[in-house]
A and B are shown apart, each in its own frame.
Chain A
């Protein structure tokens, strides 16, 4: 693998920057079960980074370590060139890490717009007396954030369901609303846990397009978990492969696809 310390150029001509996040020797255990063993990789600015592996490989655990749901027993997480101390996930979200969930975690009682607005939660500073009165600075603030949300809603083509309670939406749209909420946070790093799970071919194509557009238009760094290999090969700039919590490979899609250990893990080893 070539030296990429100062960033690199992708095949489609995008310039990838310096290291945004670095995971160093992460080990995560649940009681006697070792979910992740000594995994190290980095995520660079502007990059689409995929984490793949068979079921139970520790992919979701890895995402949960990055956004702070899990605290690894060993290893360090470096973000923006600084070692990140142990902190609650809400605090990590404040630092600019947004995510979506494998099993969709939306606020079912709220409409699409309200869900997306929760992504602006942290940026709203006016206290609730002003908000109750709906005057002056609070109204202005609400309007500014609302405009941003509408922009994202347009971007993801979900205008038609703006006022619909999300609980009643079909699965594919719910996934899109979840992405909209994460984008509303204007994250530095966006984590997507199986963004295309359970979708049909058409929905998958839509979602792929949105992921590429997000990366392109907002310059958002994206780390995603995906099972569909063809999708991963199309989207990702670099791929980490996990199996039973251990790193099997790390490299471009082409490199990873040719890696013998990866082929063995996916297809089984012939004895």
Chain B
């Protein structure tokens, strides 16, 4: 019994202290995947805030945008032109979703809109496979001028390896988040977006067109999906199995709150770093594989004690 308690509460920390460079490596790896979780979660938050819809299709949007980019390049389109066209495709997608789905289902119960996004998921899967085929593709990392090598850092005789693509992912994600934050706080459209997120009726009464705002939010979520798609694709490959990873955004959202952008970021980082640490240091106790379920257990604990998440708006029901 004593040895079990030691192996849970003692040994992992002793290991961390003995090899601090390895600990740093683990935290860094967790940090990078945390940022990518945060990006995917951010796409969910944008749409949820503006329209109250939980967009099940966010994961497939990540895959679809990545596939479009790589697929266009395979057809001989230069990389940056392909990137530009892919942005256009995401806009067309946002526009069509608003015109064909949201506009017709406005004022329907949430569950119906949620079902509609599941339908959208299947359409995008079918469309993606039909146009680009089902096989795994590799991201056009170099063609997009993204770095591929790695650097070694040796703090006090230790060894930490940084993949350049990971550094690039962190920097680009940070830039994207800063741009979105500025866009939301400083521009007229951003103000309109926040207004719609707050109150639909009041927005209409000051002349904000909900349809217009929905297109913009879905397009913003599309851009976020494209960036996430490029980065995930560069670290692994572009395939439909990516959308499983996107489901990790769900516990991130439970942790951070469905309506909070900072929540999505902090939640993503906590889940990313947490699951790596547990996998490495506590994994052997459970026979490994912790990474698969760690996030969901954390989410469950949060649902029990703080259902609105770390940064979510407090749920107050007047009766």
Contact = CB atoms under 8 A, between A and B. Distances in A.
Interface of A: 67, 69, 88-91, 93-94, 98-99, 101, 105-110, 114, 117-119, 121-122, 124, 126, 128, 131-132, 134, 181-182, 185
Nearest to A100: B205
B188 A67 contact: no
A243 to B, nearest CB: 26
11 contacts: A88-B211, A101-B205, A105-B199, A109-B198, A110-B194, A118-B192, A119-B206, A124-B188, A128-B190, A134-B186, A185-B207
Nearest to B210: A90
A110 B198 contact: yes
Interface of B: 182-183, 186-192, 194-195, 197-199, 201-211
A90 B186 contact: no
A126 B187 CA distance: 10
B194 A93 contact: no
B273 to A, nearest CB: 29
B191 A93 contact: no
Contacts of A122: 206-207
A185 B186 contact: no
Contacts, number: 85
Contacts of B183: 128, 132
Nearest to B179: A132
Contact of A88 (B186, B188, B202, B209): B209
A173 to B, nearest CB: 16
A109 B205 contact: no
Contacts of A90: 203-204, 207-210
Nearest to A105: B202
A101 B199 CA distance: 12
B189 A94 contact: no
A110 B195 CA distance: 8
A106 B199 CA distance: 7
A185 B206 contact: yes
A118 B209 contact: no
Contact of A128 (B189, B195, B199, B205): B189
B206 A101 contact: no
Nearest to A181: B206
A148 to B, nearest CB: 14
A20 to B, nearest CB: 18
B204 A118 contact: no
B181 to A, nearest CB: 11
Contacts of A124: 188
Contacts of B203: 90, 118
A121 B191 contact: yes
B187 A69 contact: no
Nearest to A125: B188
Contacts of A114: 191
Given A107-B195, A107-B198, A99 B205 contact: yes
B303 to A, nearest CB: 24
B182 to A, nearest CB: 6
